[in-house]
Structure 1
C-alpha cells in the first residue's frame, strides 16, 4: 500500500516538474528565437534604409541606376555586408535582375515587401528577405532586394532546442530520483502513524476485550442462578467492571482528543502550588492506609515575584490536576507500606519544577524507554490500572509546552520531574 502511495507521489512530483520545465523551456526557446529574428529583421531594415538612400542620392537625375558603380566599388560597404552575411540584388524598372552579390542568381520572383519575410531557396535553404521600390519623385528607378541567410536563426535555435532537451532530460532524471526519496520522506510519518494506529488498536482491543468478556460471564452466571445473594454479588462485579471499562474509554478518548487537537487547551490563570496541595489532599487517605510518610516542600518564590503571582501559570487546571494526580497516585501505588514520598515544588529559571520521588521498588533501566507508552505495564505488577496514566501525563505536559523526566533504580525508588514554563515576565536567568 505504502509503495503504491510512494509511486503516485513520485509520479505527481515528476509530472508537475516536467510540466513546469516544458512551460519554461518553451517560453525560453520562443523568447530566444524571437530575439534572433528581431535582430535579423533590424539588420535588414537598417541595410535597406541606408542603401536605398545612398542609391537615390547617387543616381540623382540619371534615368537608371549604375549598380556596380554605386555599390560594387566601395570595399568598406562590401566588407560590412559580408560580415553581416547580407546579400543585395538590384532590379531595373522592368523587374529584371541588373546586379547581385550572389554567386548565382536566385531565380526567385520579385515580391515587394516593406516587412521582412522568409522565402525558400530550395532544399533546406531559406532566406529572410526585404524588397523595396526605389522612387525619385514620380520616377521609378528600380528595385532593391536585401537577403539574409535564415540559418543564422535556425542553427542557434536548433542548438538551443537540443540543449534544452538535454537539460530537461537530465533535470527530469534527477527530479525522478529526488522525487522518489522525497516521496519516501513524505510517507514516513504516515507509515509511522499507521504502525502506531495498528499497535494502538491491538492494545485497545486487548484491554477492552477482557472487561467485556468478564461482564458477559457475570451476566450469564447471574441469569443462570436464582439465588438473590449470588445475583447481587454478580451485579456488584458487573458494576465494578463497568466503571473500569468506562474509565478506560474516557482515557482513550482523552488521549485521542489531545493528540488530534480536536479540543483546544483553553488555558486559564491558575496557581500550580494550589493544584498540587489539592492533589496531595486527595491522595492522603490512601497514604494513611499504607502508613506512608509524605514530605512536601514548596519553595519560596523569587523575591522579584509578588506573593499573589507565586507559581502562577497559564494552563488548563483540570488537565494539570490530572497530570499531578496520575504521577502522585503512581508513587503511592508502587511504594510499599511504610514508605516515603517526597514532593518538591520550586522555580528553576524559566520553568516551575515539580519533583515526585518515592523509595519504592524502582523500575529496571530496560523498561524506562517504554514507560510512557500506551497500555504499558511494568512486568510482574498486579496493581489495578489501564496502563494509560503516564501516557496521559506526557500528553498533558507536551500540550503545556513542558517536559517530563523519570529516573529510577531498582530497589531504591523512582523520581519524576515535571517542568512547566513560567509566564515570560516571571522568568529569571
Structure 2
C-alpha cells in the first residue's frame, strides 16, 4: 500500500501537519501539545485503518475483474450497502451478468452453426452417394444409351434437390442466427396468395387437384412479402404432397382488429394426433410423407412466420384433411 504515491503523499502531509500542530501547541502549554498529538494521531490512525480496509477491497475487486477477464462469469459481488464501493461492486456484477449472457448467446450460435453444418452434411450424403454410383455406371463404355440418359436425368434431379436443400438450410441458419432482416411493408393478401400459387400450377395439374381461392378485397398485413410468400409456397407443397389425385385445396383469408389470418386447407390424408406436435421440427417426416421428402419445408414456414412475430398452427384429423392457419398480428403487446 505504501508504494502507492497518493497514499505516501497523504501520510507525509499528515505527519507534517500533525508536527506543526504539536509545535504550535507547545507555544501555549505542554498539555495543549499533548492534546493535539493524541487527537490528531487518533484521527490519522483511524483514517489510515479505513484507507487500508478500502485498499484491501480495491485489491479484491481487481482480483474479481481479472477472474472475469479470464472467463469466470459466475462471480456474485453484489453489495446492497450504501457507498461508492458498493455502487462499483453492483456495476461490476451487472457487467458480469451481461458478459455471461453474451457468452451464452455466442455458445448457442456456435451450437446452431454446428447443427446446421451437421444437417447439411447428413442430408447431402445420400444424394452424393447416389450420384457417385450413377457416375461410375456412366463411365462404362458399353452402357445402353437409354440407361445413360436415365442416369443423367437422375443425376440432374439429385443436383437440383441438393441445390434446394443447401439453399433452404442456409436460409434457416440465417434466421436462427437472427441475421435475416424482415421488411415491414403493407402486403396485399390477395396478391400474395396468387403469387404463392403460381409455382404450384404444374404439380396441381399433374395430380388434378382443384385449387380454390376465396378472394376478399382489401385484406392486408404489415410484414415481408417475399419471405411470407416462400412460407405459403412450402405449405402449399406440403398440401399437394398429401392430397390425393382429384382432391381439393382451399385458400381463404380474413382480417380483424387483432390480426390478419390466412388459411390453407386440403382434403388429404390428414395428420395423426401424435405427430401434430412435431410437424414443424426440422427434418421430421410423418408417417404419410412422400418418398424423397426432406422434412424442412414446414420448419422454414414456421421460422418465417414466427420471426415476423406471427403465429402458425395446424388443425388436422386423419382422413379429413389438414388446415394450416397463419396469423399476422397488427400489434404485438
Whether TM exceeds 0.5 here: the answer is: yes
Query: Which of residues 284, 289, 311 is equivalent to 2:219?
Result: 311
Query: 1:101 maps to what in 2?
Result: 30
The 2-side partners of 1:230 and 1:165 are apart by: 86
Q: Can you give the 5+ residue segments of structure 2 that lack an aligned partner in the other structure?
A: 65-72, 77-92
Q: Could you say which structure has the larger radius of gyration?
A: 1
The 2-side partners of 1:176 and 1:263 are apart by: 32
Query: 1:177 maps to what in 2?
Result: 75
Q: Please tell me whether the aligned partners of residues 227 and 304 of structure 2 are also in contact (alpha carbons under 8 angstroms).
A: yes
Query: 1:335 maps to what in 2?
Result: 243
Which structure has the highest helix share of the two?
A: 2
The 2-side partners of 1:176 and 1:158 are apart by: 33
Q: Please tell me whether the aligned partners of residues 376 and 388 of structure 1 are also in contact (alpha carbons under 8 angstroms).
A: yes
Q: Please tell me whether the aligned partners of residues 343 and 357 of structure 1 are also in contact (alpha carbons under 8 angstroms).
A: yes
Query: Which of residues 229, 232, 252 is equivalent to 2:169?
Result: 252
Q: Please tell me whether the aligned partners of residues 196 and 229 of structure 2 are also in contact (alpha carbons under 8 angstroms).
A: yes
Q: Please tell me whether the aligned partners of residues 327 and 390 of structure 1 are also in contact (alpha carbons under 8 angstroms).
A: yes
The 2-side partners of 1:352 and 1:408 are apart by: 21
| 1:346, distance to aligned residue in structure 2 (A) | 0.4
Would the alpha carbon gap of residues 369 and 187 (structure 1) be closer, same or farther in structure 2, given more than 3 Å must change?
Answer: farther
Which structure has the highest strand share of the two?
A: 1
Matched, 1:393 2:291: no
Query: Which of residues 196, 199, 207 is equivalent to 2:112?
Result: 196
Larger mean CA deviation between 177-186 and 218-227 belongs to 177-186
Would the alpha carbon gap of residues 176 and 341 (structure 1) be closer, same or farther in structure 2, given more than 3 Å must change?
Answer: closer
Would the alpha carbon gap of residues 199 and 150 (structure 1) be closer, same or farther in structure 2, given more than 3 Å must change?
Answer: same
Counting only pairs closer than 5 Å after superposition, residues 23-422 of structure 1 correspond to structure 2 as 44=21, 88-90=25-27, 100-102=29-31, 149-161=39-51, 163-164=53-54, 177-178=75-76, 185-226=101-142, 227-260=144-177, 264-265=181-182, 270-299=187-216, 310-379=218-287, 381-422=289-330
Alignment partner of 2:262: what SS?
A: strand
| 1:415, distance to aligned residue in structure 2 (A) | 2.2
Would the alpha carbon gap of residues 395 and 169 (structure 1) be closer, same or farther in structure 2, given more than 3 Å must change?
Answer: same
Query: 1:65 maps to what in 2?
Result: none
CA RMSD in angstroms, aligned pairs only: 4.2
Q: Please tell me whether the aligned partners of residues 112 and 176 of structure 2 are also in contact (alpha carbons under 8 angstroms).
A: no
- TM-score, scaled to structure 2: 0.71
| 1:150, distance to aligned residue in structure 2 (A) | 3.9
Q: Can you give the 5+ residue segments of structure 1 that lack an aligned partner in the other structure?
A: 1-21, 45-84, 91-98, 107-126, 129-145, 301-309
Would the alpha carbon gap of residues 158 and 366 (structure 1) be closer, same or farther in structure 2, given more than 3 Å must change?
Answer: farther
1:128-181 residue CA offsets vs partner (Å, 9 max, x unmatched) = 9xxxxxxxxxxxxxxxxx8665423332113313543675688778x9632787
1:66-110 residue CA offsets vs partner (Å, 9 max, x unmatched) = xxxxxxxxxxxxxxxxxxx998324xxxxxxxx74249xx9xxxx
Q: Please tell me whether the aligned partners of residues 87 and 147 of structure 1 are also in contact (alpha carbons under 8 angstroms).
A: no
1:301-353 residue CA offsets vs partner (Å, 9 max, x unmatched) = xxxxxxxxx23445443323222111122112112334443322000324211
Would the alpha carbon gap of residues 367 and 163 (structure 1) be closer, same or farther in structure 2, given more than 3 Å must change?
Answer: farther
Alignment partner of 1:408: what SS?
A: strand
- TM-score, scaled to structure 1: 0.57
